[in-house]
Structure 1
Amino acid sequence: MKIYNTNQEIGCRILLILQIVKETYSIERIGYYDYFSLHFSDLKKTGESLHPSNPNHSAEIIIKRHTIENAINFLIGKGLIEPQYNSQGIKYQNTNLGNKIVDMFNNEYTKKYQYYVTEVDKIFSKMNEDKIRNYVNKNIGKWIGEFEKNEK
């Protein structure tokens, strides 16, 4: 049974992000928050990361978009998030049921993930998506995994 990178796993992280930020976010912004919450040391060199950094881990930021879209559709189908349509496009927010589900999460991984989402939000909350995208495009080649660091 597959448990990693499933709609359920990524969906749980999306619910956590949207509950913490209390905003409507696009797929792109959700993806950035998820990536940097898992790989916080890519954002803050002095920070630790929740997940170990493997070789070429920065490719996740591009590859996971489709997976995040699937997880969002899964969450919509379960009534846990809802789309909001406006002139800027489609953004998503938790439903009351989605927030109640998140309130039941109570484990060490969830607490750490919530901490990192909060830290990412402190950095990105005042930035629009274009600025975040420019930051990512400018820096993506600089992020290397801990195994790559040891080879140098």
Structure 2
Amino acid sequence: MNIPQIIPPSFNSPLEAAIRAIVILTEIYPCRLDLQEMVKLDHLIVHTKDINGPQSLHPQLPLRNAEILVRRKIVEQGLFLLISKKLVSRVIDDNGIYYEASDYAAPFIASLESTYTAKLTERAIWINNNLLQLDKSSFRSLIEKNFGKWTQEFQPLENSYGVKQ
């Protein structure tokens, strides 16, 4: 009997989320982000046009904001993959659990030659310069405006190293 080989999907898989996460964390280094922030930025980095940024990398599908509800597990799995390869570090302090790029992250990103990675890097720079420079209130307003009722699924932004206070 000939059994077809099952190939795991790459679109919005933990591997793709890991690539997005390492690009974001490398561009904002030495800042750290918690899981909630990583989930939000994972969505925003591929839908930058929604927030008046560069052309989005993923299609502008209707109801795309609902994607954020399934991203948490995928992003978390991607971060664990990066931690297992020592590309990202998990830092635990009195304020919570944060993720930051390791010393190996930038050389790893530099070794990737895909157009997608280059476009992700451009958008991560844009996010760092335009979103992560916002104060907490402005960042929260941006998220609420773009995700509406879906933001109820997330903890409030508190004591972030990635967003100026």
TM range (shorter): 0.7 to 0.9
| Partners of 1:18 and 1:93 within 8 A in 2 | yes
Where do residues 130-141 of structure 1 align in structure 2 (5 Å cutoff)?
131-141=138-148
Q: Which of 107, 113, 130 is residue 106 of structure 1 equivalent to?
A: 113
Q: Write out aligned runs for 1:58-77 (5 A).
A: 58-77=65-84
CA deviations on 1:50-108 (whole Å, 9 max, x unpaired) are 11111211112232011111111121122221111122211111222233211101221
SS of the residue aligned with 2:104?
Answer: helix
One-letter amino acid of the structure 2 residue matched with residue 27 of structure 1: L
- Counterparts in 2 of 1:26 and 1:95: CA distance versus 1, 3 Å: same
Q: What residue identity is the alignment partner of 1:26?
A: D
- Does structure 1 residue 43 correspond to structure 2 residue 86? no
Superposed CA RMSD: 2.1
CA drift of 1:47 comes to 4.2
1:82, 1:131 → 2: CA distance? 28
Mean alpha-carbon deviation: is it higher for 94-103 or for 66-75?
Answer: 94-103
Which position in structure 1 is the counterpart of 2:60? 53
What is the percent sequence identity of the aligned residues? 23
1:35–1:61 contact (8 Å) kept in structure 2: yes
Structure 1, 127-136 or 101-110: larger mean CA deviation:
127-136
Question: Any conservation in 1 of the 2:54–2:123 contact (CA below 8 Å)?
Answer: no
CA contact (8 A) 1:32 1:61 kept: yes
Higher RCO (C-alpha 8 Å, min separation 6): 1
Point out the structure with the larger helix share: 1
CA contact 1:81–1:98 (8 Å) conserved in 2: yes
Tell me, which stretches of 5 or more residues in structure 2 are unaligned?
1-6, 149-165
Query: 1:147 matched to which residue of 2?
Result: none
The amino acid of 1:68's aligned partner reads V
- Equivalent pairs, count: 141
Q: Structure 1 residues 132, 62: closer, same or farther in 2, change over 3 A?
A: farther
Contact kept, 8 Å, 1:34 with 1:117, in 2: the verdict is no
Q: What is the alpha-carbon distance in structure 1 between the residues aligned to residue 136 and residue 75 of structure 2?
A: 17
Structure 1 gaps, min length 5: 142-152
* Aligned ranges 1:90-129 → 2 under 5 Å: 90-127=97-134
